[in-house]
Amino acid sequence: MIRRLAVAAALSGMALWVCSVGAADEPPVYDAKGAEGCLKCHDKPPDTLILQTPHAMQADSRTPFADHACETCHGPSPEHLVKPPEGEPRAPTAMSFVRGSRNTVAEQNAVCLECHNGDHQINWKGSAHDFADVGCASCHHIHVRKDEVLEKRYQAEVCFECHAEQRAQSLLPSRHPILEGLTACSDCHNSHGGIVQPLLTGATINDTCYPCHAELRGPFLWEHAPAREDCTLCHFSHGSVNQGLLKVRAPFLCQECHMAPYHSSSLYGGDRLANPTPQRELLGRSCMNCHSQVHGSNHPSGVRALR
Ligand code: HEC
Ligand code: HEC
Ligand code: HEC
Ligand code: HEC
Ligand code: HEC
Ligand code: HEC
Ligand code: HEC
Ligand code: HEC
Ligand code: HEC
Ligand code: HEC
């Protein structure tokens, strides 16, 4: 009970609840029939699908159904249970989570955060999504058998609703297999916030990549400084028009940093392509024709990333 009152206090929507209950100091009135009362009318999917989810596990004392059932989330709503006068709409519940809800997003999220305030949600406050007023219910669906955002295969579609740029990137010729469900946005991003921008799961960009690209973690006898520092100096994460998710094609990629008055900065002319000794810096894998170990080398004489 004390916990429930704490929720009520946490919600700045309290005023709304208060008027639906009566005087300010009266405790909120919950339907004694619990879920049964609501399910009498809300007896069809999607409303009833919640019964097949962990939230409806009454035996688990942490769940809403072990508490005031539907009203744990939708708030104490005695007026909603009263038959409206002929021709008038039914009074709303105290809390609604749908688009256009009269409750603010902060009020809605406070309901969920009452229980989900540890573990992964601990960094929610002040995170990019919290700051942008994105609701828990914008990503999570409660009245479904299986929440899409928790499924690798369907998750991206949820994110793409708002992140159109990433949708476009994920369709480019070179890309992480996100649409195939082999990599999920949540492999690299923590939607609930974190200390590493932009919402990365790793302690650095590289630490975000290493769990799957472990062979590039090193340590290498001969490091290539930029690969140790930041994979995104050369690679896009979501998609690219260049092979290998590269931001820029070689030789230009390498020449962004290597300007020595030596072969590395020479572009030579296109006419050299037809030369009897074809231009090795430009054809095939370009600089990587010789410098194949761009991520670092463990060969004793790999100092120039040649082997
Ligand atoms: C006597 C029938 C009846 C009972 C009992 C009932 N509802 Fe409703 N409820 C309705 C009807 C009808 C609507 C649709 C109103 C509309 O679309 O204008 C509705 C709409 C809703 C909505 C969507 C609109 C809103 O207010 O956000 C929610 C949420 C809701 N009910 C939750 C509940 C909960 C929780 C309970 C139990 C405490 C409950 N209902 C009990 C008939 C009922
Ligand atoms: C009264 C406490 C309570 C409230 C309020 C609550 N939850 Fe939960 N939720 C739980 C418990 C308990 C579980 C089961 C956790 C487990 O099994 O480890 C759960 C599970 C979940 C899961 C995982 C579901 C799955 O299929 O694995 C999601 C997502 C979730 N809640 C989101 C929400 C959102 C969004 C809200 C607000 C609209 C919310 N919860 C409100 C207690 C609550
Ligand atoms: C931007 C989309 C997004 C938003 C907004 C969001 N979530 Fe999630 N949530 C996810 C994704 C993706 C997962 C699964 C992977 C993960 O944990 O990152 C998840 C997992 C969960 C889980 C189950 C796994 C766990 O952490 O135990 C719970 C519970 C949960 N979220 C609660 C919440 C609550 C509460 C809010 C609002 C404060 C919220 N989420 C807001 C995307 C979101
Ligand atoms: C864990 C919190 C939670 C619980 C418990 C819960 N709901 Fe909901 N309800 C939501 C959220 C969030 C939405 C928004 C749509 C969605 O996520 O599926 C919603 C949407 C609805 C809607 C549609 C609202 C609209 O305006 O169209 C109805 C009706 C509803 N719930 C009724 C119920 C009933 C009946 C119960 C109990 C059997 C219940 N809810 C239990 C969180 C909850
Ligand atoms: C309801 C809309 C919405 C949904 C759904 C959504 N986001 Fe967001 N997201 C935003 C907004 C708004 C921002 C903050 C403004 C911005 O940077 O675009 C944001 C910011 C982010 C950022 C940080 C960007 C930065 O520059 O710091 C990441 C990463 C992100 N979202 C990933 C995700 C992922 C992953 C999902 C799906 C699990 C998701 N978002 C779902 C609206 C959404
Ligand atoms: C392989 C890891 C990885 C995956 C998978 C991934 N991202 Fe990212 N994302 C990153 C990295 C790293 C950055 C920051 C550097 C960059 O922009 O390349 C980023 C940046 C972002 C940004 C901020 C962009 C900006 O311009 O500030 C958003 C938003 C975002 N990602 C959303 C998503 C969404 C949505 C998905 C799923 C469809 C997704 N990401 C999948 C690694 C990933
Ligand atoms: C969840 C695992 C996972 C994470 C995390 C991950 N990747 Fe990948 N990456 C993959 C998979 C799977 C492929 C596709 C391999 C294939 O097609 O053979 C891939 C392919 C690539 C490719 C080659 C693309 C091509 O077309 O050959 C590059 C470059 C790449 N990832 C860079 C990164 C970077 C940079 C990060 C960190 C920001 C990262 N990856 C994080 C799983 C991951
Ligand atoms: C200096 C630029 C540069 C940096 C920094 C860099 N890469 Fe690469 N990466 C490349 C080039 C160039 C290729 C293409 C190699 C080829 O064609 O032989 C490549 C290819 C890849 C591939 C494809 C498979 C392979 O091994 O050839 C993956 C995966 C990859 N990089 C991941 C990463 C990760 C993860 C990081 C960060 C630890 C990273 N890269 C940092 C330039 C870079
Ligand atoms: C973001 C900048 C950057 C990019 C892009 C880059 N490099 Fe480097 N590279 C460096 C730095 C810094 C060093 C270390 C130089 C030093 O120690 O003097 C280095 C060292 C090298 C060395 C060893 C040189 C020596 O003096 O031992 C080779 C070879 C090399 N890079 C090749 C490449 C190739 C090939 C590419 C394109 C795939 C590339 N680099 C892209 C920054 C870059
Ligand atoms: C035909 C093979 C070949 C190609 C193609 C090639 N290199 Fe080299 N590169 C070498 C060799 C061999 C060395 C070592 C020379 C030495 O140790 O004196 C070297 C040395 C370097 C160095 C170190 C220079 C220094 O001052 O120590 C850099 C940087 C470099 N290459 C960058 C590039 C870039 C960028 C490209 C693409 C434009 C490229 N290389 C293409 C063979 C090649």
> Mean pLDDT lowest for which of 123-132, 180-189, 273-282, 288-297?
273-282
Mean pLDDT score of the chain: 89
For residue 269, what pLDDT band results from cuts at 50, 70 and 90?
low
Mean pLDDT of 214-233: 96
- Are 128 and 229 contained in the same domain? no
157 and 218 together in one domain = no
- Residues 104 and 6 occupy one common structural domain: yes
Tell me: do 194 and 212 sit in the same domain: no
Pair (151, 166) in one structural domain: yes
CB-ligand 1 contact for 103 (6 Å cutoff):
no
Q: Please check whether residue 302 lies inside any domain of the structure.
A: no
Paired with 246 in beta bridges are: 235
What distance in angstroms lies between residue 191's CA and the mean position of ligand 3's atoms? Answer: 7
- Give the closest residue (by CA) to ligand 8 atom 14: 244
Confidence of residue 5 (pLDDT cuts 50, 70, 90): very low
How many residues comprise the chain? Answer: 307
Task: Identify which of 298, 258, 247 has the alpha carbon closest to the alpha carbon of residue 281.
Answer: 258
Q: Are residues 196 and 139 in the same domain?
A: yes
The proportion of the chain whose per-residue pLDDT surpasses 90, expressed as a percent, equals 76
Q: Is the peptide bond before 64 cis (omega within 30 degrees of 0)?
A: no
Total number of domains constituting the chain? 3
Q: What are phi and psi of 297, to 5 degrees?
A: -135, 145
The residue among 81, 68, 60, 66 whose CA lies nearest residue 27 is 68
Q: Same domain for 108 and 142?
A: no
Q: d(Cα 133, Cα 121) in Å, to the nearest integer? A: 15
Q: What is the pLDDT of residue 265?
A: 67
Residues 11-51 have pLDDT tens digits of 444 444 444 444 457 889 999 999 999 999 999 999 999 99
Q: Are residues 39 and 135 in the same domain?
A: no
DSSP SS3 for 246: strand
Question: 85-125 pLDDT, tens per residue?
Answer: 999 999 999 999 998 999 999 999 999 999 999 888 999 99
User: What average pLDDT does range 236-261 have in this prediction?
Assistant: 92
pLDDT at 8 over 60: no
Instruction: Inform me whether the pLDDT recorded for 151 exceeds 50.
Output: yes
pLDDT of residue 259: 82
pLDDT(72) > 70? yes
Among left, alpha and beta (phi > 0; psi -120 to 50; other), residue 226 is: alpha
Question: 107 with 210, same domain?
Answer: no
Residue 66: predicted pLDDT: 96
Residue 253 is part of which domain span? 206-289
Let me know if residue 300 belongs to a domain: no
Q: How far apart are CA 113 and CA 125, in angstroms?
A: 10
Q: Is 296 contained in some domain?
A: no
Instruction: Find out whether the beta carbon of 163 lies less than 6 Å from any atom of ligand 5.
Output: yes
Residue 151 is given by DSSP the state S
- By CB neighbour count within 10 A (0-12 exposed, 13-18 middle, 19+ buried), where does 119 fall? exposed
Residue 239 pLDDT greater than 80, yes or no? yes
Cα(283)–Cα(264) distance, integer angstroms: 14
- The answer to whether residue 210 is domain-embedded is yes
Q: Which of these three, 66, 87, 113, is where a domain ends?
A: 113
Whether residue 37 is found in the same domain as residue 138: no
Same domain, 39 and 52: yes
279 lies in some domain: yes
Going from the Cα of 295 to the center of ligand 9, the distance in angstroms, rounded, reads 10
Q: Which of 113, 143, 174 is the last residue of a domain?
A: 113
- CB of 254 closer than 8 Å to CB of 287: yes
Let me know whether 84 and 136 are in one domain. no
pLDDT value for 16? 42
Least confident of 1-5, 43-47, 68-72, 116-120: 1-5
165: three-class secondary structure by DSSP: helix
Residue 215 CA to ligand 10 centre (angstroms): 24
166 is written with which tokens? 């990433």
8 A C-beta contact, residue 177 and residue 186: no
Q: How confident is the model at residue 284 (pLDDT cuts 50, 70, 90)?
A: confident
